[in-house]
């Protein structure tokens, strides 16, 4: 029996049709116009089970998943528990192929270039440790590299003698030429690979990945992209980035089950790349060689399908426009305050939902504590590379009243 036979009955195909019917009244609205339509976003909000006891503005860490995804996880888990080794390994495992195809469609790549795993860290560690490098070979990262990736590269430096070069990115910036130059200044004849953050986790800054990649390709340098905060958030397809490798966490902006992620490796690089968890044929050109993690949360992986359905029902462009609108909604209402500073551009080409702000006379942890103690607003403090503030990250279920509370609290702080 085909993979499709097993997988499709486990995915609620009627959900997309039902939501499409609900969205008919908004069909003539452009994504930009719909960003401010509270009737539409009220429908979206009611598909989540967000807490009424706090205001969650740390969706950049991990996002809640909508009810349809929660229900799917529970349904697949309950059935798995009837006979785990039968349902998980003989039935549900087959459903991974359909999920792979659906992810590949969103990403704009071939399904044979997509591996399903647990998160961005697993994806990028697989890439970092699986690349053949020798003592003296150079790699380039930025000064805004995510800690887990920094630690992985650091281990390779200590153990193998590879050499790091650091691109010091201007922040915030809309100067593409200056950002690209920060990387090209570090490229040498010994550079083998560059790791680029698509969205800088510390600030929300969107980097011009394609422009940096173009310069790397001219020099025969491989391109890895940290897409933890860009996939199902920004509007792009992976080929637009001109990269060889891409890793992301699906439990962030796709709102898939916790502990689900995706790895992309360009087809002609698969056979040359070593897996972090080796399979029986380490030099195979089959992308599935990167999925040998042993027993895994198969119900969570299957429920990625419902997360994709929900994402497509909302619409990628509508989603981005709403996220950027929410960011601008609160920023515009506090940016006149004396002493406030923002570490991310307001331009949609250089930002999405995330923005980090600071206040003169207060540290990031102090701002974080104030927002929580005054209004039970959950955020994350940021102290890194000259940045000292708090990252604010709404998601599509965030209400304007939540952001009004944020604005009022910030204004009291000043």
pLDDT band at 95; cut points 50, 70, 90: confident
pLDDT of residue 18: 63
**Same domain? 148 vs 247:** yes
Largest CA distance in the chain: 66
Q: Is residue 13 part of a domain?
A: no
**Same domain? 301 vs 327:** no
Q: Please report, for the domain that includes residue 347, its CATH number.
A: 3.90.1150.10
Boundary-marking domain end, from 246, 273, 307: 307
Residue 184 contacts residue 155 (beta carbons within 8 Å): no
The 10s digit of each residue's pLDDT in 169-224 is: 999 999 999 999 999 999 999 999 999 999 999 999 999 999 999 999 999 999 99
Mean pLDDT of 107-127: 98
**Same domain? 228 vs 96:** yes
pLDDT band at 5; cut points 50, 70, 90: very low
**Same domain? 229 vs 376:** no
**Same domain? 176 vs 248:** yes
Whole-structure pTM value = 0.94
Among 386, 384, 356, 351, residue whose Cα is nearest residue 368:
356
The 10s digit of each residue's pLDDT in 281-292 is: 999 999 999 999
**Same domain? 288 vs 388:** no
Boundary-marking domain end, from 259, 279, 307: 307
pLDDT band at 22; cut points 50, 70, 90: low
**Same domain? 301 vs 322:** no
Q: Please report, for the domain that includes residue 263, its CATH number.
A: 3.40.640.10
Q: How far is CA 15 from CA 20, 54, 154, 173, 255, in A?
A: 8, 29, 45, 41, 16
* Number of domains present in the structure of the chain: 2
Q: Which helix (H) or strand (E) covers residue 409, if one does?
A: helix 400-413
Q: Is residue 34 part of a domain?
A: no
Boundary-marking domain end, from 252, 283, 307: 307
Q: Is residue 85 part of a domain?
A: no
Q: Is residue 23 part of a domain?
A: no
Domain interval for residue 339: 317-413
Q: Is residue 130 part of a domain?
A: yes
Residue 233 contacts residue 258 (beta carbons within 8 Å): no
**Same domain? 288 vs 143:** yes
Phi/psi at 7 (5° precision): -80, -45
Task: Residue 373: count other Cβ atoms within 10 Å of its Cβ.
Answer: 10
């Amino acid at each position: 029996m085909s993979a499709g036979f097993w997988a499709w009955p486990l995915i609620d195909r009627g959900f997309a049709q039902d939501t499409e019917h609900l969205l008919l009244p908004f069909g003539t609205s452009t994504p930009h116009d719909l960003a401010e339509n509270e009737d539409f976003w009220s429908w979206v909000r009611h598909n989540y089970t967000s807490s009424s006891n706090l205001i969650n503005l740390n969706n950049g860490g991990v996002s809640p998943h909508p009810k349809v995804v929660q229900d799917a996880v529970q349904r697949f888990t309950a059935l798995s528990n009837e006979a785990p080794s039968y349902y998980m390994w003989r039935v549900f495992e087959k459903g991974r192929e359909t999920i792979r195809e659906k992810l590949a469609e969103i990403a704009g790549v071939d399904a044979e270039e997509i591996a399903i795993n647990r998160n961005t860290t697993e994806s990028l560690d697989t890439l970092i440790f699986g690349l053949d490098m020798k003592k003296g070979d150079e790699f380039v990262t930025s000064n805004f590299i995510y800690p887990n990736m920094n630690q992985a590269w650091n281990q390779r430096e200590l153990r193998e003698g590879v050499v790091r070069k650091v691109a010091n990115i201007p922040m915030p910036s809309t100067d593409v030429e200056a950002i690209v130059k920060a990387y090209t200044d570090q490229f040498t004849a010994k550079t083998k690979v560059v790791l680029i953050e698509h969205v800088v986790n510390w600030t929300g800054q969107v980097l011009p990945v394609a422009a940096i990649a173009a310069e790397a390709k001219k020099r025969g340098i491989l391109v890895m992209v940290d897409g933890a905060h860009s996939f199902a958030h920004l509007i792009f397809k992976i080929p637009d980035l001109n990269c060889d490798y891409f890793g992301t966490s699906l439990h962030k902006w796709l709102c898939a089950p916790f502990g689900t992620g995706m790895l992309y490796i360009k087809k002609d690089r698969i056979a040359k790349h070593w897996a972090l968890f080796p399979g029986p044929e380490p030099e195979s050109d089959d992308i599935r060689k990167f999925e040998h993690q042993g027993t895994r949360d198969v119900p969570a992986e299957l429920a990625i399908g419902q997360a994709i359905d929900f994402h497509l029902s909302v619409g990628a462009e509508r989603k981005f426009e709403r996220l950027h609108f929410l960011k601008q909604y609160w920023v515009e209402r506090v940016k006149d305050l004396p002493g406030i500073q923002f570490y991310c551009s307001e331009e949609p080409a250089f930002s999405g939902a995330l923005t980090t702000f600071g206040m003169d006379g207060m540290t990031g942890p102090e701002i974080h504590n104030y927002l929580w103690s005054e209004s039970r607003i959950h955020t994350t403090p940021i102290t890194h590379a000259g940045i000292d503030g708090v990252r604010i990250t709404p998601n599509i279920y965030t209400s304007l009243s939540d952001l009004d509370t944020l604005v009022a609290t910030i204004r009291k702080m000043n």
